[in-house]
Amino acid sequence: MQLPEVFLNSLEGTPGFDRTAFLLAHQVPSTYVSVRINPFKQPGTKLVFPNFSHITFENVPWSKYGYYLSERPSFTFDPFFHAGLYYVQEASSMFLEQALTQLADLSQPLKILDLSAAPGGKATHIQSLISNDSLLVANEVIKSRCAVLTDNIIKWGSGNVVITNNDPSAFKNLTGYFDVIVVDAPCSGSGLFRKDKEAINEWSLNNVSLCSQRQQRILADVMPALKDDGIMIYSTCSYSKEEDEAIGEWLVQEFEFKSETLKIPSTWGIVESKSKHSTGYRFYPDKLKGEGFFLSCFRKQTTERETKFKPVSVEKASATEKDLIRPWLRNGALELIREDGNLTAVSTALLENYLQLKPVLKIFYKGTVIGQVMKNKLVPHHALAVSTLLLENAPSVEVAYEEAIKFLQRQELQIQPPTQGWQIVRYKNQGLGWINALPNRINNYYPKEMRILKQSL
């Protein structure tokens, strides 16, 4: 792997940069594979990986849910991957957990914005850490990337999320709304050179400078939406000071932000980078098991007044619709609303926020879509099959590994369901999706766009 001289020279003097060790680490492609488990589906923090019994695990030091795997399995052919039991995520990125747990009171109902959320690594991580009555707004400006973000959020199964498709400037109108804003900024991407050689050809000093300007624009656009005393978490996967420390210095000097520090053991290998007004945390692949990453945290010091919104109204489900849905849902403080023909379950706390956000933002998805009522019957949506709202003893059929893969490939199934009608296909008790068993055939309702395309390993 040949790294541009101009790139290496630009990193000289950067805290923690050791040219020889850095070059050595870049002579081999990244071999670390890490996953973060879904606490809603794998209770506790222990990784259960039944199809890969030969693989050994090791904890990612800075995340209670993160594990390194001894080798990369075929995630595509693991039904647990499709059931949302874990998310494959680069280990350094999981450091977000330290910022959230050390700086925010996660036991409280918080409003959190993940501004650049696709494909959903940080958003699903945030979901795992916040309380049930908290709200996560997962935003993605590029519409085509909202679909993969939504798929990943649906798979995660917890419904306290609103997915939006807005430019950062749209959040200006939500003055003082969020307790925490996470800006995982688009960047020049040098931290991922070991994973993506193509990125090396796209790197230039000019691009670093353009990215730095864009990062400032994004932060300036979104900062009014943070409450007084709220936390701004800023991260990139770039090693360049212009996109990392310089942004922190700018935030503290130009705006009313105070830099926050985190407590981290020196054994983790993370470099604490102290500038004149701010502190950031650097990840180098020659110092720890992870790729290049940077994170810094700030507390807002203004007296921003929270905007008072006039909430819009929404149609609630009728008594008949509620009766049709009841056999599928766990009891809880849920509201059932009807929009665009879909019935959606939202927590009471989420509904209030949703009705405030609706007139301001472009909402792509929210809560848990339950399905549509047609001819007095519920046609269930995929989101319900993988949701934590689904009743444990809802009609379902347990399948063996081969049938589970066939189901995920959207093929015909050779199974004998115990009853007719809509039911969940489960593999080792984990919901994968829906079938409708008719007297003469079984219809496979696994979403077409999510199906496994490969025929075999």
Task: Kindly list the residues in this chain that would bind ligand SAM in the complex (CB under 6 A).
Answer: 93, 116-122, 140-142, 145, 168, 184, 186, 214, 218
Tell the smallest beta-carbon distance from residue 142 to ligand SAM (Å).
4
CB 114 within 8 A of CB 138: yes
- Pick left, alpha or beta for residue 375 (phi over 0 → left; psi -120 to 50 → alpha; otherwise beta): left
Q: Give the residue with the Cβ less far from ligand SAM, 164 or 396.
A: 164
Tell the smallest beta-carbon distance from residue 140 to ligand SAM (Å).
6
Q: Which of 65, 74, 119 is nearest to 94 (CA)?
A: 65
Going by the DSSP 8-state scheme, the letter that residue 306 receives in this structure is P
Tell the smallest beta-carbon distance from residue 220 to ligand SAM (Å).
12
Place of tokens 């670093």: 208
Q: Give the residue with the Cβ less far from ligand SAM, 121 or 371.
A: 121
Tell the smallest beta-carbon distance from residue 120 to ligand SAM (Å).
5
Place of tokens 């934590």: 388
Q: Give the residue with the Cβ less far from ligand SAM, 147 or 379.
A: 147
CB 431 within 8 A of CB 386: yes
Tell the smallest beta-carbon distance from residue 5 to ligand SAM (Å).
26
- b/e 291-325 (16+ beta carbons within 10 angstroms → b): bbbbbbbbbbebebeeeebeeeeeeebeeebeebb
Q: Give the residue with the Cβ less far from ligand SAM, 142 or 312.
A: 142
Going by the DSSP 8-state scheme, the letter that residue 259 receives in this structure is E
Asked if residue 119 has a cis previous peptide bond (ω within 30° of 0), the answer is: yes
CB 379 within 8 A of CB 325: no
CB 65 within 8 A of CB 128: yes
Q: Give the residue with the Cβ less far from ligand SAM, 95 or 328.
A: 95
Q: Give the residue with the Cβ less far from ligand SAM, 39 or 119.
A: 119
CB 366 within 8 A of CB 358: no
Q: Which of 93, 297, 259 is nearest to 181 (CA)?
A: 297
Tell the smallest beta-carbon distance from residue 297 to ligand SAM (Å).
16
Q: Give the residue with the Cβ less far from ligand SAM, 116 or 356.
A: 116
Tell the smallest beta-carbon distance from residue 18 to ligand SAM (Å).
25
- φ/ψ of 424, rounded to 5, equals -85, 135
CA–CA separation, 20 and 11 (whole Å): 12
Q: Give the residue with the Cβ less far from ligand SAM, 94 or 384.
A: 94
CA–CA separation, 124 and 40 (whole Å): 11
Q: Give the residue with the Cβ less far from ligand SAM, 214 or 451.
A: 214
CA–CA separation, 48 and 269 (whole Å): 28
Tell the smallest beta-carbon distance from residue 60 to ligand SAM (Å).
15
Cα 153–Cα 155–Cα 159 angle in degrees, nearest 5: 55
Taking only Cα atoms into account, the Rg of the chain, rounded to an integer number of angstroms, comes to: 23
Tell the smallest beta-carbon distance from residue 215 to ligand SAM (Å).
9
Tell the smallest beta-carbon distance from residue 237 to ligand SAM (Å).
6
Q: Give the residue with the Cβ less far from ligand SAM, 85 or 187.
A: 187
